[in-house]
Structure 1
């Protein structure tokens, strides 16, 4: 079954899930694995109610979403499950378009592989479960994929606007700025087997960086006109200062729950800088393939993001479908998969034991979060190893030529 027939079937399935009554999935909306204080649907509803009654939604320290959600859901769209389903569909469509740009295949072509790419997104439980929980992480992932889609298709204005929108939804996606700028002045076609120095025009790259800053400042000004500048403290700075220690599958919350206040600023700086230090090494090592560098940084975010949900590692896992050339060179794919499955089983089990049954404690759930972090780390390291092995490892020249023929 090719993409032209499979994609409509997957879209129909996702729209059917959107018809599930809200009271049947109300438990998902309060699941700490699927939504965080920055993406929670219940907090979004509270913020919309306060905003509609002319009350500052950021005054109480509960609403931490971007003001863009207030403008969209109070004027353009109602916060209904169908909106999340449509966002998922747009994300799958964007992922399919990225794959076509990388493989250099036209619209309506690609065969079964194109359908599998869409299925990797729409059937990924790490993605559709947060979407069913009406988590705002669904829109964050879609914005990231739209950014990479426009950049892969050589549309700089649209890509930079989508990236500015994405950073307003989640400031952590600013980590993708450098590889997106590199992608705009290079090609999305796989260059892993033939690494070369970055040959993009530096002047053009700087112009695109200035264009991104202009878009970001326009959105910042529009948000400030809506609700004032207090939202920066409650929304954007929350990823740096971690004011809400609600449990999540990430690695931050438990560490800072046990942290003495005297050491908190230092370790907040360490955790924040730790995210940033990956950008230059990855972009330098994979300067010949900016799309692959973006993929690896998405995986880094899926491990070390401050307010993590399952949607973050889920995006990284779905993006694996874009790079079939690395599959033969993964070192431990079976072990990594088994660790992911192990973490996927432990997280809901220990969450239920602690929160629902009251028979465990926070150590149980954080132990499962550590297993999830290890699984994510194994995936990123294996993907990095495979990308380097294609270029610098024991890949015969004949295999490289065969891959070039397949690409053509």
Structure 2
């Protein structure tokens, strides 16, 4: 009954905000809408397609052709249901995350049971019970439904709502052992935004764990299913565009080359605005390697036994370092933080991170108004806020990882830490 009330309240809140006079302002906010997910650009793309004009010939539309054809159909047949549709998709995302978290809890309990023999006697009390872990599923649901970032993302009717639903479906399917569905949903999310491709690694690990097939063939099957699904979506998109693959440059190419430097909550726009043009290619490669490839191997090697933590960290890192992030991406990965509630006592930066999120979220719109409307600030002020916002996220990620390492060390070695016969403690440097 409690869950139904949560869904009802969250749904009414989203639907009501979409129909307020402030909706247009919210839908155009730089924190919510980007050149990739903007509702305004989606409308323009649909209009051009309806007029038999290729929307990818200009520089305004960058969504995938599949999303284009779906929304073209909805605009033509039932435009009045779109606010309800976005609300329903966001509630579906919350439900999928809720179910995924329950499956993740079962996986966590199985791993804890397997490794129980390695736990020191004095640390036995730190082992988590099923009841303690099951509570986290309710927190996951509540955090997503009532997180201001998730609510504003839905109210702005951005296509990130669809991307989040696909990612949630992929993770939920993987956690329950449905490999083909997981790969298909992840391929669709990747086809839409590219950066979800990172999740193929933890999803392959989860499928191998759930289906008891921890061998190379299991990972190859998952990778093959993902590649085939992605290739099929690329082919379908080309078919929609009359056999042309020119759309690729205005979708994947747009994400990778960052031609639109409209301010957002990310780090790319300011750097490439200030940079000399002849260094552009070098730094595009450096930034995109950082976002897509740099962390995946070391994190996978270190946390190969914790795919759930790997999912959380990779979602957060891809949000911080992607070319066109929005607060909808932040709200999605923050829903996974309650899964690590047992690490909170080991975290050292909780208060600092919480204050940083609150302050930067309030300062962003304020500084934007001072810069754009009042003329009493400049781009440096807004970038300072976005840089602080990114720093808060990095602090959250590093603190979570270090808390996991400290708990792991304590479980194996007990609470008493001695170095050269003297008490010692672990500190983050």
TM-score, normalised by the number of residues in structure 1: 0.89
Secondary structure, counterpart of 1:266 in structure 2: helix
Distance in 1, Cα, partners of 2:412 & 2:142 = 30
Instruction: Give 2:106's aligned residue.
Output: 104
Contact 2:102-2:134 within 8 A present in 1 as well: no
**Correspondences of 1:9-408 after superposition (within 5 Å):** 9-16=5-12, 17-19=14-16, 20-21=18-19, 23-75=21-73, 78=79, 80-104=82-106, 113-187=136-210, 200-227=214-241, 228-275=244-291, 276-393=293-410
Report the more deviating stretch, 11-20 or 259-268: 11-20
Distance in 2, Cα, partners of 1:385 & 1:110 = 21
Report the more deviating stretch, 319-328 or 31-40: 319-328
**CA deviations over 1:238-257 (Å, ceiling 9, x no partner):** 11100111100100001001
Report the more deviating stretch, 84-93 or 261-270: 84-93
Contact 1:35-1:137 within 8 A present in 2 as well: no
Distance in 2, Cα, partners of 1:343 & 1:148 = 30
Report the more deviating stretch, 343-352 or 31-40: 343-352
Instruction: Give 1:7's aligned residue.
Output: 3
Contact 2:65-2:240 within 8 A present in 1 as well: yes
Distance in 2, Cα, partners of 1:349 & 1:24 = 16
The answer for unaligned runs of 5 or more in structure 1 is 189-197, 400-408
Instruction: Give 2:419's aligned residue.
Output: none
Distance in 1, Cα, partners of 2:90 & 2:323 = 23
**CA deviations over 1:91-114 (Å, ceiling 9, x no partner):** 111111111112239xxx987644
How far the C-alpha of 1:221 sits from its partner, in A, is: 0.3
TM-score, normalised by the number of residues in structure 2: 0.85
Report the more deviating stretch, 232-241 or 32-41: 232-241
Distance in 1, Cα, partners of 2:307 & 2:186 = 15
Matched residues, number: 383
Q: Aligned in 2, Cα 1:113/1:6: closer, same or farther, shift over 3 Å?
A: farther
Coordinate RMSD, CA, aligned = 2.2
Instruction: Give 1:402's aligned residue.
Output: none
How far the C-alpha of 1:14 sits from its partner, in A, is: 2.9
How far the C-alpha of 1:398 sits from its partner, in A, is: 9.1
**CA deviations over 1:323-370 (Å, ceiling 9, x no partner):** 222222222211111111121122111112112323211111100000
Secondary structure, counterpart of 1:263 in structure 2: helix
**CA deviations over 1:105-144 (Å, ceiling 9, x no partner):** 9xxx987644322110010011110110111112212211
Instruction: Give 1:195's aligned residue.
Output: none
Identify the structure with the greater helix proportion.
Answer: 2
Distance in 2, Cα, partners of 1:237 & 1:291 = 31
**CA deviations over 1:56-110 (Å, ceiling 9, x no partner):** 01111110111121122123574722222112111111111111112239xxx98
Report the more deviating stretch, 109-118 or 341-350: 109-118
How far the C-alpha of 1:169 sits from its partner, in A, is: 1.2
Q: Which has the larger radius of gyration?
A: 2
The answer for unaligned runs of 5 or more in structure 2 is 108-131, 417-429
Instruction: Give 1:404's aligned residue.
Output: none
Contact 1:301-1:312 within 8 A present in 2 as well: no
Contact 1:332-1:382 within 8 A present in 2 as well: yes
Instruction: Give 1:405's aligned residue.
Output: none
Q: Aligned in 2, Cα 1:273/1:391: closer, same or farther, shift over 3 Å?
A: same
Distance in 2, Cα, partners of 1:225 & 1:111 = 45
Q: Aligned in 2, Cα 1:266/1:110: closer, same or farther, shift over 3 Å?
A: closer
